[in-house]
Chains A and B, each alone.
Chain A
């Protein structure tokens, strides 16, 4: 593996964890993906777990409208969107928005 690409800890919505071979609703669950930025991380997610990726991203590879992506405590739109850089030790949290009705 390219040592320059950091390993990033990622959490995905509980509803999708069974698609990674975990029991549905598993509370404590992280993926580790190597990526320099959010776009690269989503691409890597698509390679490693395509069934998860298709749930989180549209055909263009961008997060679906009601999916939020955070780096540590910041929504990526408050940083640089999909170009938000990642460094070792970052935690990426992907969550469904509080929406519906």
Chain B
């Protein structure tokens, strides 16, 4: 029996949810939920029998809430609280950039701006800071990138917790979140006097596959004279990184996604460094089926010219279907679906608000 695909799309003006059978030509759409509120991230949590769609709208006026739907995005209910700094910390929460399942069935980790990490052990009802990274000696030395100083990637992988911070770099905890250390060997910072600093890199996104605990992929801030800074791979669980950008039209981009059934297959969306839009106005997803050794362009169904959109760091995902689709949303408000792992693309929605985040799952 065909599964049901659910796609949660966080935009500048609210959340939209698309759903339908995996083979359907058209999907049902709902929304906007939380109208007028931007969402930088969404989560589809499949740990329990009833999957949850968890949205994190950040109202420019009224602040951030954690909203949970137990009916695949029909109704949402706020949790009792959202992450917050202590009154005497000096920092105030500006945005939430990442929400990730923890190691148990009901715990969550939440990455925020300014860069900090919070943990909830009760399904998002209450939150406490993860001091090892939030109060790290480096924390007050990190700088904001264009999107703000954000902790955007949270990845439990290979027995370590990996974090991506822009602009802070890649940090790991190998002692159960007690302490964190920068692990940026080979991760460059083309905007800094020291090309390979200990920390301070503008990491854009990190991805991995559970079957290869030693391996991670990173989309770092590229686009400099040295084309080896942007797209990276680690084969030692993040301790060191090397370029896998050879053959790409640009090493600049934001999202990076790994195929759910093949740890060797990785997807990125190269962007022109100057405009951060599709090179020459010709959008494409690029796929490697051998862990970045060789790349191929996937553009069937996408515009052939005059397309100048950006795909943001949380704007691409791949569902977990048997023959998964890759999904991405654009800053021009289009939601694209690439069936068969990106072999052929179709536009699912053409006129949404600018898209920040796309999460897809087969439930």
CB distance from B14 to the nearest CB of A (A): 12
* A54 at the binding interface (Cβ < 8 Å): yes
Contact residue among A59, A60, A66 (Cβ-Cβ distance under 8 Å from B61): A66
- A12-41 vs B: 1/0 string, CB under 8 Å? 010110000000000000000000000000
- A32-74 vs B: 1/0 string, CB under 8 Å? 0000000000000000000000111011110010110000000
* Pairwise interchain contact A67-B61, C-beta atoms closer than 8 A: yes
A64 to B81, CA, bound (A): 17
* Pairwise interchain contact A15-B92, C-beta atoms closer than 8 A: no
- Chain B residue contacts of A66, Cβ below 8 A: 60-61
- DSSP majority for the B interface? loop
How many A-B residue pairs have C-beta atoms within 8 angstroms? Tell me. Answer: 39
A66 to B38, CA, bound (A): 15
Contact residue among B61, B87, B93 (Cβ-Cβ distance under 8 Å from A96): B61
* Pairwise interchain contact A64-B87, C-beta atoms closer than 8 A: no
* Pairwise interchain contact A100-B62, C-beta atoms closer than 8 A: no
- Interface size for chain A: under 10, 10 to 19, 20 to 34, or 35 or more residues? 10 to 19
- B78-106 vs A: 1/0 string, CB under 8 Å? 00010011110101110000000000000
CB distance from B88 to the nearest CB of A (A): 8
* A97 at the binding interface (Cβ < 8 Å): yes
* B31 at the binding interface (Cβ < 8 Å): no
A90 to B172, CA, bound (A): 54
* B36 at the binding interface (Cβ < 8 Å): yes
- Chain B residue contacts of A58, Cβ below 8 A: 63, 92-93
- Chain B residue contacts of A13, Cβ below 8 A: 61-62
Q: Which residue of A lies closest to B62 (CB)?
A: A55
A92 to B354, CA, bound (A): 37
* Pairwise interchain contact B85-A97, C-beta atoms closer than 8 A: no
- The winner among A60, A61, A99 for most chain B CB atoms within 10 A is A60
A37 to B87, CA, bound (A): 20
* Pairwise interchain contact A59-B60, C-beta atoms closer than 8 A: no
CB distance from B96 to the nearest CB of A (A): 14
A100 to B35, CA, bound (A): 12
Q: Which residue of A lies closest to B38 (CB)?
A: A100
A66 to B85, CA, bound (A): 19
* Pairwise interchain contact A60-B63, C-beta atoms closer than 8 A: no
Q: Which residue of A lies closest to B88 (CB)?
A: A60
